[in-house]
Structure 1
């Protein structure tokens, strides 16, 4: 039977009463993983346990989505409504053109206007509607459609019952932009998350691209404010490649990331396998994660977290498998260098013939200073490869002799929804691999998983541009070769391609084994199943386990290249615990040891460089270092660092802030292998090299002097502890936060900064979960959502888990019906 074409359903408003109970009577029971499971309750039912975690049970996908939508809206309706405003290109209409689309630093903080122009183009082109009209796997599978239909009902029900004017969160109470939603809103949100890996990098460059000779007014908007003053000056291929690489490296250091470690049967004590999930996602905005358990007896029983507003578990566990994702080193986009006609720069050369670019007029509504609505119109340009862009992460790509077109591997991807719904039901890591291969929906992530059978999996199987090594050799431009084939590429910088657009044969070819045109054959993508461990900390796939280095097409990342300090720390943590050489009792991971090792906040940078730094400090004449012509007295700093023997970034660690500032000045945005080491990187010993910092290096002295200056200028003592700087405000309370930036080689990554004028965490450990399987019995899981379930300051779950995280404590997960029923704070809502 042919699949029905997608229709946008009108918002459904439900006004029936909600029954609030303190017992499980109406919820039914769910025999997890059992063919004899009793049917679910007649009505979607939400059971709240400690810390406001909802356990949602229903008899079908529609009911499950309804419960999810209701509970998610109750906790975070303002964040969700703001997201729907963004994907519908209406931020400028309601909030003005100049605001930012994301709070905090280092997120995609483009202007409301640029964001609206980008998403309006997607709307005008009917991108999401076209995907919804396709059969699976390109379009959503029936279970996805049913769950999203239910989600819309649940969200709209909560809004109707509460009323916009009665919302407790002042961030959107009474706002005209808070409205009932449709299924199309949810799919647009999902699509926005899937293309995030390209949009965050190239959005501004696409919506501000103007051809040479455009009006002066248009030219002023052609480049982001962060672009260099020399933007229009022609640069060499080597300089362009280096600048793009530097921009990508800086973005990776300051943006989203993750650690994930799967431990197999040989590495676990008292079980068959374990998984540590530790994503480093934003603490504010649309990329917040939200925790839940979703159950349809006999069909699915999964617990974990999702990106807020997507009614599935993205990172979590079911009865047999636990999995997580980490940001991968695949660039989900490619650039095409197209030669333009100097007399008519909107014409470009392909296969010896001139072609006219496609122009598209994009119009958005804009709230003006006097409160009236106006319109902004902009002409955007495209080629057969995709839209023209004139910058990448703020670095200019001038439209002069040639222009750069973008092809986004995920622009035609809604398959990720099918991927996550299937992962929620996987029975072992082999089913995980099969799901990844047959959907190719993962947008820019690695997958790390463990199963009850004792397997540990690493897989980088995702939507990847089909640029094989042979295709790259044939089609890369001179700049593209330098960018793609660097001698020592950073381990975590994606190899961006710039292909020759003058030849249509250089477009991404279609592979018969791939799910969609232009995708790399999933069987060529790396995967590893072991019984000891496999993991990833945002480096390329090469060293998921150093005992079995992986090979793969260059498009997926470097091989034989230096690893980040965080990757070294992850591997060493696994090896020492399995061998029993880390100072903790016994051998093999347990939930207790895994939690202690993560929250020890040990710094690999300090392990490698602290002693040499102290020696340098103690050896400088008269305790004085010359910095920019000024003598800086560092003698007070020497004993502080010498006493910092723990090498950690816990909340009570004097000296850690001084070392963090020093390391930031020393490393900057360059790779760790560029620092003044006496022993260079050796691909035969990638976990332990480079090492032995050169204490006599002028770079070491200069960075240390600058760190002392920085702390004194900030009015902070040199022996300040982490909470003096790294804390979050929750109401009138200041909560100290442990952890450190990833460049320090700390697994528990925390990037602090300014958010709306206050100290807060911008990126970092978000939903942390560890799961242990045994041969039989339910999985044993512990979790903590670092920023808590709700962004609403009036919610009782606005800061409760944040305090747990501050104290390095965990929530003992309730997974079985018996465990849920035993919660002393159980509250049940039946959506009748």
Structure 2
């Protein structure tokens, strides 16, 4: 690599080689003795907090710069993902350990490997890549994938890994464009086949003795488990997003606040960048690690964010089996032999393990969706899983289309043309003043009529309760069919998607699309998309109350979005804290009995709750006490018994309400919370930040925000340590963006990546934005060239292949 350092006179910027920006302790690559020989290359301009602005002449070179820059920040996390999709976890980490991978729900490395090696050996991803667009990925996305792999490999070749998580590890190896595509496939099926990996790889035909003949799935238990499994509020990924129409803003242009709730560790972290091909593409935002496009972001005209949607991305087909052979199923009375997929997995310090999976015309046979939802394979019945996203590798095309869009109409067009998003809603605003929410997902084409006509006894219960359809697989008349505007058979076309345009506000917090705007509810969609007229979560209720008030006030700016993000209001407290304090103060003798039967003095707790400000700020006293009490109460008392005033579809934002303090479990929860904090040595009125924090490089950083059940917009799901409090964040607020526009096409945006750009503790960008988050501070986004070159920390690096 030829090192050339010069000053850009107009901007006062240093132009550096890639080696000059390596983390502390890294070894610079040897100097080239000549030009790159026509290899791939890009220019990366790093601004404050290590945010790269990647400039390239075409898509392959843009992918190269993106792969390089992601590897520089996240090589260990990326490499772990590639080990997963190659089906090699057992080889390196042993078969019995939990995968610990964001791409796999399997309970063991062996189960994960059996699934992903099966995908490899079946050539699933290769077949999808060969499909011409729009059914398959387009040329530009393929070029990005190729470039990304080359950039990742070039970084590995030219640098030494300093992250202790994988330094000198044999599993950190070069990748191919096919590995990048397989990684994308794993993300697409997270909500479908990804939920059933253990049930797919562990499926075994019943024995010849017929002992399994009477085993069937219990309808009501299965429906309850499915409802819990497909509840976005309880998952480790969720989000808030709101877009405001120009009628509500100070300058008539749209505003967007995006607040995805994603894991703080591992492969589902976001990573920030700006991608620019002059005259072709200019987009800034966040990418899921391993993704070569911006998934959530903005450009000079439009901004968008996603929320995990309620649409159920899979369905089941109940198979009627041949009485003489449980691996043969009947369709219209005719036998069809299941396809055997035999997979062998290399295992560390052991012999290879071989297992057989069973596949049908509907998809793989599955014996469960997680341990809580068993689907027994008997001699008469089995279940096959249909996941249309297992035939969808178009997600990056959709996101690339967003990056090129010039309005919310352009967002709709990208969704219509590519139909690639598997499990999210899209919320968008543009500089022309438009607002948009659309639940444009790739979903099985399950209409309510089809579920009624073809639902089995199990499906008659699971579909209304959870949206999981169980269809009669023995009748060809129960096939899913196709919409004329769908690019893929068996899915809904764009015209069927719940959508709301140009309302004063559109908001989603992981409930269904029904209450996107309280004054303009969306109805008329099929149950598989979500419910209509049902109770909303406290987070949705609090969010709608907040944003509706903002819209009514009007004259909104980006600063108003920033205030909403960190308001840390607790809707559960506004509904219940005062009643809790009063009921507490009225307890005879100021005592309550805990679950262990011991009497607890709770008088101090009553006073603390009465004084609490109903917020989850780091300085809020009483927040931790109410949090621990509320978790225990809601776990012990069914939601329908928690409130005196029940839910009403006519008043969904304000109902249910009025806490029933006489409910069994109320005083027990209060006593247990007090006992728990005292046992941990935590004062009942301790500031929240003293016992809700993360530790980075030996330093405590206080964390504000609160859990799902409290309804806090700024959601934080933290890990409880019985001796210290909340000592780490599992998932919650991640890549936050508040976006508006001025009179030019330079977005007026503030962003924050709560866990910072790098997971390498030796990196200067391991915790810098986390420190900002602790102080409720933001990063000023630098989108236009004048803003990039005006950054006081700007460093410019040329990255190239070395041949």
Query: What is the distance in 2 between the residues matched to 1:712 and 1:199?
Result: 45
**Which residue of the other structure, out of 491, 502, 506, is the alignment partner of 1:530?**
502
Does structure 1 residue 746 correspond to structure 2 residue 683?
Answer: no
The 5 Å alignment of 1:226-375 reads: 236-249=218-231, 252-341=233-322, 343-368=324-349, 373-375=350-352
Aligned equivalent of 2:662: 696
The 5 Å alignment of 1:151-170 reads: 151-162=148-159, 166-170=160-164
Query: What is the distance in 1 between the residues matched to 2:217 and 2:47?
Result: 59
Aligned equivalent of 1:475: 454
Determine helix, strand or coil for the equivalent of 2:432: coil
Q: CA deviation at 1:670?
A: 8.6
Aligned equivalent of 1:378: 355
Q: Give the 3 Å change call, closer, same or farther, for CA 822–124 of structure 1 in structure 2.
A: same
The 5 Å alignment of 1:619-634 reads: 619-628=586-595, 629-634=597-602
* Residues 718-773 of structure 1 deviation map (CA, whole Å, 9 limit, x = unaligned): 22332343221211112111111122110111111279x99321111110011012
Determine helix, strand or coil for the equivalent of 1:747: coil
Does structure 1 residue 780 correspond to structure 2 residue 748?
Answer: yes
Q: Is the 8 A contact 1:21 1:828 kept in 2?
A: no
The 5 Å alignment of 1:513-592 reads: 513-551=485-523, 552-580=525-553, 587-592=554-559
Q: Give the 3 Å change call, closer, same or farther, for CA 306–103 of structure 1 in structure 2.
A: same
Deviates more, 1:727-736 or 1:231-240: 231-240
The 5 Å alignment of 1:588-607 reads: 588-607=555-574
Query: What is the distance in 1 between the residues matched to 2:233 and 2:636?
Result: 9
Q: Is the 8 A contact 1:271 1:773 kept in 2?
A: no
**Which residue of the other structure, out of 380, 403, 407, is the alignment partner of 2:386?**
407
Q: Give the 3 Å change call, closer, same or farther, for CA 341–754 of structure 1 in structure 2.
A: farther
Q: CA deviation at 1:141?
A: 1.2
Aligned equivalent of 1:3: none
Aligned equivalent of 2:35: none
Aligned equivalent of 1:436: 415
* Residues 100-129 of structure 1 deviation map (CA, whole Å, 9 limit, x = unaligned): 22269x993632111111101111111100
Aligned equivalent of 2:61: 63
Q: Is the 8 A contact 2:537 2:711 kept in 1?
A: yes
Q: Is the 8 A contact 2:193 2:385 kept in 1?
A: no
**Which residue of the other structure, out of 136, 155, 174, is the alignment partner of 2:168?**
174
Q: Is the 8 A contact 1:784 1:811 kept in 2?
A: yes
Query: What is the distance in 1 between the residues matched to 2:638 and 2:252?
Result: 38
TM-score normalised according to structure 2 size: 0.91
Aligned equivalent of 2:144: 147
Q: Is the 8 A contact 2:636 2:665 kept in 1?
A: no
Q: CA deviation at 1:233?
A: 6.5
Q: Give the 3 Å change call, closer, same or farther, for CA 280–116 of structure 1 in structure 2.
A: same
RMSD: 2.5
Determine helix, strand or coil for the equivalent of 2:276: strand
**Which residue of the other structure, out of 705, 710, 718, is the alignment partner of 2:684?**
718
Q: Is the 8 A contact 2:397 2:420 kept in 1?
A: yes
Q: Is the 8 A contact 1:323 1:448 kept in 2?
A: yes
**Which residue of the other structure, out of 712, 716, 729, is the alignment partner of 2:695?**
729
Query: What is the distance in 1 between the residues matched to 2:701 and 2:280?
Result: 41
Q: CA deviation at 1:432?
A: 0.7
The 5 Å alignment of 1:805-816 reads: 805-816=773-784
Query: What is the distance in 2 between the residues matched to 1:260 and 1:532?
Result: 14
Query: What is the distance in 2 between the residues matched to 1:390 and 1:658?
Result: 42
Aligned equivalent of 2:201: 207
Query: What is the distance in 2 between the residues matched to 1:126 and 1:463?
Result: 22
Q: CA deviation at 1:631?
A: 3.0
TM-score normalised according to structure 1 size: 0.88
Aligned equivalent of 1:225: none
Does structure 1 residue 463 correspond to structure 2 residue 465?
Answer: no
Q: Give the 3 Å change call, closer, same or farther, for CA 615–283 of structure 1 in structure 2.
A: same
Q: Is the 8 A contact 1:103 1:109 kept in 2?
A: no
Query: What is the distance in 1 between the residues matched to 2:681 and 2:357?
Result: 48
* Residues 72-102 of structure 1 deviation map (CA, whole Å, 9 limit, x = unaligned): 1111111111111110001111111122222
Query: What is the distance in 2 between the residues matched to 1:352 and 1:393?
Result: 32
Q: Give the 3 Å change call, closer, same or farther, for CA 243–196 of structure 1 in structure 2.
A: closer
Q: CA deviation at 1:467?
A: 0.7
Q: Give the 3 Å change call, closer, same or farther, for CA 139–215 of structure 1 in structure 2.
A: farther
Determine helix, strand or coil for the equivalent of 1:600: coil
Structure 1: state its 5+ residue gaps: 1-15, 28-40, 223-230, 487-493, 581-586
Aligned equivalent of 2:757: 789
Aligned equivalent of 1:35: none
Query: What is the distance in 2 between the residues matched to 1:418 and 1:528?
Result: 23
Q: CA deviation at 1:215?
A: 11
Query: What is the distance in 2 between the residues matched to 1:524 and 1:741?
Result: 34
Aligned equivalent of 2:31: none
* Residues 486-511 of structure 1 deviation map (CA, whole Å, 9 limit, x = unaligned): 4xxxxxxx511111112122232122
Does structure 1 residue 612 correspond to structure 2 residue 569?
Answer: no
**Which residue of the other structure, out of 405, 408, 416, is the alignment partner of 2:395?**
416
Deviates more, 1:71-80 or 1:201-210: 201-210
Query: What is the distance in 1 between the residues matched to 2:56 and 2:202?
Result: 47
**Which residue of the other structure, out of 814, 819, 830, is the alignment partner of 2:787?**
819
Determine helix, strand or coil for the equivalent of 2:125: helix
**Which residue of the other structure, out of 766, 769, 781, is the alignment partner of 2:737?**
769
Query: What is the distance in 1 between the residues matched to 2:422 and 2:485?
Result: 18
Query: What is the distance in 2 between the residues matched to 1:570 and 1:73?
Result: 37
Q: CA deviation at 1:18?
A: 5.8
Query: What is the distance in 2 between the residues matched to 1:688 and 1:454?
Result: 29
Q: Is the 8 A contact 1:20 1:827 kept in 2?
A: no
Determine helix, strand or coil for the equivalent of 1:279: strand
Q: Is the 8 A contact 2:101 2:267 kept in 1?
A: no
* Residues 128-185 of structure 1 deviation map (CA, whole Å, 9 limit, x = unaligned): 00011111112221211222222122111111111xxx31111111111111111001
The 5 Å alignment of 1:505-520 reads: 505-520=477-492
Deviates more, 1:140-149 or 1:309-318: 140-149
